Structure 1
């Protein structure tokens, strides 16, 4: 029943939008009505079956222009051209408003996770928790709203199942490496401790791999190393009379240093969510050198495929029928400049 109501609502809105898109007379009349009613001169949005957020945008724009649409559809200049197109009833409008309220947080999440200027993988788990909290069913919800909420929650759980320990652990560690979300308030203390313990293990694994690479490079470099430098004359004269007492600090193991560093990282205040965590790591890398190395590996992972799809779109804008003779090397350079060059 709820699915039928949603389909009927979307079908009615879609017919109205299609009518104004296809009729230049209707589009001009709608613009006049917008000016008369002092509404924004926005065009109606047609939804696309492969993009759920286009459905949200279509409903949102229709509600914004509802008065102008109704006024235009009842105008005698175009009414004779209307066949099956009808305005929404009060019940339909109320349903559309309810659906908009349910989908609005998801629209915000989609926009946020599509950014390229901030780390996004670290936001997945906090956003999942926030969305699930906002989708809790209340007694005032209608049957349709309850069904929509249940459907979204079920999809979330299927996409991020707790049984997939590798994925869940990776996402939690990515969140822990983001100074905005490292407090992990949506987890209990035991889970937080486990996440940071696993973080220390990963850091030690990473440092061990780097050490092996460094040893190999050192072995190669030692083949052509210079002989040790001779002592300065002043050292030969006074070295025995004024010997330098070697300092003997208690050496700390690498494991202990990493443990203390992670503990110190946990104690620093969290970063406000509107600030850039990459800039924070740039300023604090010297204070947490080992944690910073792992943060570079994890926070560079995008949460969605949107950034890569934008690269393909950029390449399509560059290689056109008039510029089809560009070499692949030049295309690569132009795409790189387009995506990375910041103009003041």
Structure 2
């Protein structure tokens, strides 16, 4: 409702101001009807609704409004519409009605969990959540389960016969050529011990999915949040080699739109053109 109102606001303003639609009211008569309290209420109303209007634009007019920005926007709206000392009865009434409606959104547990996870996966808002540890525990468990499932589904290489004890004639008949061992260069011989140590350590570092994921998540969480103007999708793409495991499941959250308004706008434009 609010999104559509924002889209139609220029047309509504033009219709209200068009003298052919609305009869002209003499300025003096209009001023007689308006009291100083009316002007004060109008100013309060504009101030109260400006944040809601801006929030609506964030999810309906931005180029890539991701679902990770929903909860940070709601938190800002909650702060804005909380009752404060000194609020007039008019302002309190508006705040209560607006927040009563907004607070009932996204109450489904699965949707709420998804939005929390999408928020921490958005590098702009990852520090905005209070229960970060619980959210990351859920994400880590889901990611490990998915990675292990993918690893189990990979095709198992067939066992190859050992080259030991295979004579040349048998190798030629089966189309197999015994690899030729080239002598080590002087540089390889000089750093042979270091090379062997690296070959022994590397498989251990990359073999355990849990440890790799934990390390990449800790590195991601230790980074500062990026500016709000930055593109989170582009940021993850640039960090895909640094955080390959979180990058894979970050895409699942970043591709979810915060609002269906942009797609609806495209649908309407195609229908009428």
TM-score (norm 1): 0.59
**Are the structure 2 counterparts of residues 115 and 293 from structure 1 closer, same or farther at C-alpha, using a change threshold of 3 Å?**
farther
Judge conservation of contact 1:119–1:300 (CA < 8 Å) in 2: no
Matched with 1:294 is 249
Question: Distance in 2 between the 1:281 and 1:288 partners?
Answer: 8
Q: Could you say what secondary structure the match of 2:104 adopts?
A: helix
Between the aligned partners of 2:63 and 2:153, the Cα distance in structure 1 is: 31
CA distance in 1, matches of 2:26, 2:54: 35
Q: CA deviation at 1:134?
A: 0.8
What is the SS of the residue equivalent to 1:180?
coil
3-state SS of 1:248 partner: helix
Gaps of 5+ in 2: 18-23, 159-173
Aligned to 2:92: 146
Per-residue deviation, 1:140: 2.4
Task: Please give the root-mean-square deviation of Cα atoms over the aligned residues, in Å.
Answer: 3.7
1:202 to 122, 135, 142: 142
Name 1:251's counterpart in structure 2.
204
Match of 2:75 in 1: 129
Q: Does 1:74 align with 2:26?
A: yes
Equivalent residue runs for 1:124-273 within 5 Å: 124-161=70-107, 164-184=108-128, 186-187=129-130, 191-215=131-155, 230-233=177-180, 235=181, 245=196, 247-249=199-201, 251-252=204-205, 253-273=208-228
Answer with 107-116 or 174-183: which moved more: 107-116
Paired residues, number: 238
Describe the superposition over 1:250-304 as per-residue Cα deviations: whole angstroms up to 9, x where unpaired: 6141011101110111011210111111111111111001101111111110111
Question: What are the Cα deviations for residues 171-228 of structure 1, in whole angstroms up to 9, with x where unaligned?
Answer: 11100001111113x51xxx21111121111222332343355439x89xxxxxxx99
**For the structure 1 residues 132 and 197, does the alpha-carbon distance in structure 2 shift closer, same or farther, using more than 3 Å as the test?**
same
What are structure 1's unaligned runs of at least 5 residues?
1-47, 66-71, 220-226, 319-344
| CA gap 1:51/1:317 in 2 versus in 1, 3 angstroms | closer
SS of the aligned residue for 1:273 comes to coil
TM-score (ref. length: structure 2) = 0.73
